[in-house]
Amino acid sequence: MMVKITDVARNAGVSPSTVSYALSGKRPISEETRRRVEAAVRELGYRPHASARALAGSRSNVLALVIPLRTGIHVPVVTQFAVSVVTAARRYDHDVLLLTQEEGEDGLRRVADTALVDALIVMDVQLHDPRLPLLRSLDRPSVLIGFPREAAGLTCVDLDFRAAGELCVERLAGLGHRVVALVGSPPEVYVRGTAFAQRVVQGFTAAADRCGLASRVHPCEATPAAARRVAERLLREQPALTGVVVHNEAVLEPLIDAFEQLGLRVPGDLSITAICPDETAAALRVPVTSVALPSAELGERAVDLLLRKLTGAEVPEATLLTPHLTNRASTAPRDAP
């Protein structure tokens, strides 16, 4: 039933070790021998047994990917990230084992200690993440998506969310807007110390101050009703508001609806910039000027770094992707006052 390396060896008239070396390229093989081995492999349809290979070679060629399940994390972002991790991993001849955060630290320890995986990618890292000590102590390399407070000894990748927040504000300032607001993630996201959400706030506030803009920040639940309430509150508290930054995919559309129902046209009366996936921004009724959330690029970078670590190479501890803003229909210069 199963073709094994000894079958290939016999068919090619060489020893099993020669077959192994011919396939791995780990030692020089004569042209003639290589061809015979390759022919035998094809003829017999040989596929090396993954577990046997992993046991003997002490590398499973599998990466673990830990995905978050929590509320306030936008699902398409996670999914696109996962897909790009799988795609990138395959380019390096690796596969991806999917773990949910639900399993927690035990899950990480389990797949690492049983040598089921060679390395780990952990998404949605919190500022004070309980998994950090564990990840540092594992005998396998890992890459984190997100930046915890104490990142020493860990490899972290993320969009530069602070710069993203700044970029959104600077665009509004450049268009002449003087009073701006940030509609952020749901409150629990801040409460539990999700780094990226806080960094957006920091960037937003710093840039607003630097540009001399009046600014406020409002977390917002991921429901249309909450969006509506935030819109009303914004107009009440900042009557001169003409610029809004949104860092909350789920309420982008309802928020625009709410503003328009309250009598404000986008971008006529109100300009909006957002931090969200490009597809989301482009698919809205009013396409929104946005800083892209580059899930796919993040996934690739994470895999690249992880595989370099697996070869023993040194990699930078911090990788911050530069944010890019794309102009769309939701921004316009402020009317002369």
Partner DNA sequence: ATGAAAGCGCTAACAT
Partner DNA sequence: ATGTTAGCGCTTTCAT
Q: Is the dihedral of CA 16, 92, 66, 141 positive or negative?
A: positive
Question: 153 CB contacts (<8 Å, ≥6 apart)?
Answer: 136, 317
Q: Give the torsion sign (CA, 212, 218, 224, 226).
A: negative
Does 308 help bind a copy of itself (rule: CB under 8 A)? Answer: no
For the chain, report the end-to-end CA distance as a whole number of angstroms. Answer: 81
102: contact with a copy of itself by CB under 8 A: yes
Phi, psi dihedrals of residue 98, rounded to the nearest 5°: -95, 125
- Binding partner at 236 among DNA, a copy of itself, none, C-beta below 5 to 8 Å by kind: none
Three-class SS state of 324: coil
Q: Is 116 in the site for DNA (CB under 7 A)?
A: no
Distance CA 35, CA 242 (A): 70
35, 39, 52, 318: which one binds DNA (CB under 7 A): 52
Smallest gap from Cβ 303 to a copy of itself, in A, equals 13
Nearer to a copy of itself, 47 or 128 (CB): 47
| Cα–Cα dist 16/95, whole Å | 26
Beta strands 119-122; 62-67: pairing state: parallel
Instruction: Give the residue among 63, 99, 87 at the shortest CA–CA distance from 309.
Output: 63
Give the per-residue contact string, 53-92, with a copy of itself (x = CB under 8 A; - = no).
-xx----x-x--x-x-x-----xx-xx--xx--xx--x--
Amino acid at 123: M
CA dist 221 and 61 (Å) reads 41
- The reply to whether 326 sits near a copy of itself by the rule CB under 8 A is no
Among 31, 114, 311, 314, binds a copy of itself (CB under 8 A): 114
CB of 55 to a copy of itself, least distance (A): 4
Contact partner at residue 310 from a copy of itself, DNA, none, CB < 5 to 8 Å by partner kind: none
The footprint of DNA on residues 24-43 (CB under 7 A) is 24, 26-30, 32-34
- Residues, the chain, total? 337
- Asked whether position 39 contacts a copy of itself by CB under 8 A, the answer is no
CB of 214 to a copy of itself, least distance (A): 30
Binding part of the chain for DNA, among 50-58, 75-83, 95-103, 215-223 by CB under 7 A, reads: 50-58
Residue found by looking up tokens 């697996």 in the block: 310
For 75-98, give one letter per residue: b (16+ CB within 10 A) or e: eebbebbbebbbebbeeeebebee
At 309, give phi and psi (nearest 5°): -60, -35
- Residue 90, binding choice from DNA, a copy of itself, none, Cβ under 5 to 8 Å by partner class: a copy of itself
Q: Does 116 bind a copy of itself (CB under 8 A)?
A: yes
CA distance 134 to 18: 40
Look at residue 253 and give the partner it binds from DNA, a copy of itself, none, a contact being a CB closer than 5 to 8 Å depending on partner kind: a copy of itself
Applying the rule CB under 8 A, the residues between 152 and 211 that interact with a copy of itself are: none
Q: What does 99 interact with, of a copy of itself, DNA, none (CB < 5 to 8 A by kind)?
A: a copy of itself
Distance CA 8, CA 301 (A): 38
Copy the structure tokens of residue 258: 């709410």
In the complex, minimum distance from the CB of residue 135 to DNA, in angstroms, rounded to a whole number: 22
Q: Does the protein bind DNA through residue 44 (CB under 7 A)?
A: no
Interface positions with DNA (CB under 7 A): 2, 4-6, 13-18, 20-21, 23-24, 26-30, 32-34, 46-49, 52-53, 55-58
Interface positions with a copy of itself (CB under 8 A): 1-2, 45, 47-52, 54-55, 60, 62, 65, 67, 69, 75-76, 78-79, 82-83, 86-87, 90, 95-100, 102-103, 110-111, 113-116, 139, 222-225, 253-254, 257, 283-285
